[in-house]
Amino acid sequence: MTRDTSLRTRSRRRAASAARLLLGCGILILLGLAASRTVRLAYADHLSRSPRLPDRVRAVRLAPDSATLYTRLAIQREELGGDPVPDLQRAAELDPANAERYLRLGGRAELAGDAALAERSLLRAAVLSRLYQPRFSLAGYYFRRENADMFHKWLVEALRAAYGDVAPLLELGWRTQPDAAELWRSTIPHTPEIERQFLIFLMDKRQAPAAAPFAIDVAAHATAEDRPALIRYCGWRLFENGAADALAVWNALCSRNLVPYHGLDPPGGISLTNGDFDRAPTGGGFDWRLQPQPGVTLPERRGELRAAFTGEQPEFCAMAWQFVPVMPGRRYRLRGDWRPIEGDSPSGLGWAVYDWANHPVIAEEAPDGSIAFTASADLLRLAWVYRRPVGSVRFEGVVSLRNVRLEMEK
């Protein structure tokens, strides 16, 4: 009995040892296979980066389930003038949740003339990704296919998903519907970023009358990000004699503290901006525009405007000017205090008034240097100027201008 037990124990030990040996061999085989696969994949990856097309073909044969290698093969095939679409199709099949692969396939399929495959691929990309690029691609696709309804659908979708520059989308929309009001109503998402870009787009298109209501709408809830576009709009309208539009936007900027001034009120006699030079002139909107001339520099100082003359300035030049909204037919007086900082008492300094088209407005000069004039339109330009007095040499020195005032006379 003892002998039988001992035999059975030894038999079990031999069986366990054999099993462990077989298991170890199996593990070694699996490790060998895994190592072989790893080496094969690494080599395939290496081949797929080769500039030679046969190497990339060999790469996908070594790793036929790699979408990345098929994409690299497609890129190389296209660079050599071949058809990348079959390789891109295979890449998309191997990685069906990757929107980027369908985007690439859709674009190349359209170029190859396979409109059905292009549409299916781009629509699939839009299902897989809620981001901007698939929607932009579909808008472009339907624009090229002249499918107005689908183009509009995906244009709106793209604008809603957009970030950054949307000018290409707005351009496509304008080509199909060159009507600012209709685009604003049916297409433009009313978000600050898109509204601002639409306003800039209209300015670039020189759509002055059409842009006015949108500029005022943007200004009503403007933030610091909107300020450059709105100030640009003000200047744009001022140079086109759109005083009312510019004034509405400027006053909105003032009320929202986006420019550091009080609003203007022409009927109330408030038409001049920054007359005390408490702020450095911005050169935009209704603020002063500084205009350095040959022989004249304008060093910045708070509370005054300084002009340094070398004596080589032109016989007539304007150092600073601004647009002013006024009441047509009303009488105004413009005055300011200037005094020498360096050199003799200045001679030749004074004021000039022009309409928006740069035609001089007749003005009467008083002994104190102020001038009186009758407003010929609702928008004028006031300029601080130098005129060389007849029979005198050009002025040389530094002059300070302060306390500029424009008063509507009763």
Instruction: Note the pLDDT tens digit of each residue in 176-219.
Output: 999 999 999 999 998 889 999 999 999 999 887 788 888 999 99
Structure confidence at residue 391 as a pLDDT band (50, 70, 90)? confident
pLDDT in tens, 45-96: 888 888 888 888 888 888 888 888 888 888 888 888 899 999 899 999 999 9
Confidence of residue 300 (pLDDT cuts 50, 70, 90): confident
Asked whether 333 and 409 are in contact (CB, 8 A), the reply is yes
- Tell me the mean pLDDT in the region 29-54: 70
Per-residue pLDDT, 299: 87
Q: Is the pLDDT reported for residue 36 higher than 80? A: no
Which percentage of the chain shows pLDDT scores above 70?
91
State residue 13's pLDDT score: 65
Name the least confident of 2-6, 147-151, 204-208, 338-342.
2-6
Higher pLDDT, 344 or 31: 344
Q: What's the confidence (pLDDT) of residue 163?
A: 85
Residue 223 confidence (pLDDT) above 70: yes
Please report, as a single letter, which amino acid is at residue 210: A
Write down the pLDDT at residue 64. 85
Residue 302 has pLDDT above 90, yes or no: no
- Mean pLDDT for the stretch of residues 279-284: 91
Mean pLDDT of 295-302: 89
- Whether the pLDDT of residue 174 is over 90: the answer is yes
Mean pLDDT of the chain: 89
Predicted pLDDT at 342 = 83
Cα(384)–Cα(318) distance, integer angstroms: 6
Residue 31 confidence (pLDDT) above 80: no
Residue 44 binned pLDDT confidence (cut-offs 50, 70, 90): confident
Predicted local distance difference test score (pLDDT) of residue 260 = 93
What pLDDT, on the 0 to 100 scale, is given for residue 33?
43
Q: Which tokens in the block code for residue 32? A: 């060998």
Q: Is the pLDDT of residue 168 over 90?
A: yes
Residue 304 has pLDDT above 70, yes or no: yes
- CA geometry: angle at 22 spanning 16 and 27, to 5°? 125
Q: What percent of the chain has pLDDT over 90?
A: 65
Q: Residue 145 — pLDDT band, cuts 50, 70, 90? A: very high
Mean pLDDT of 11-25: 62
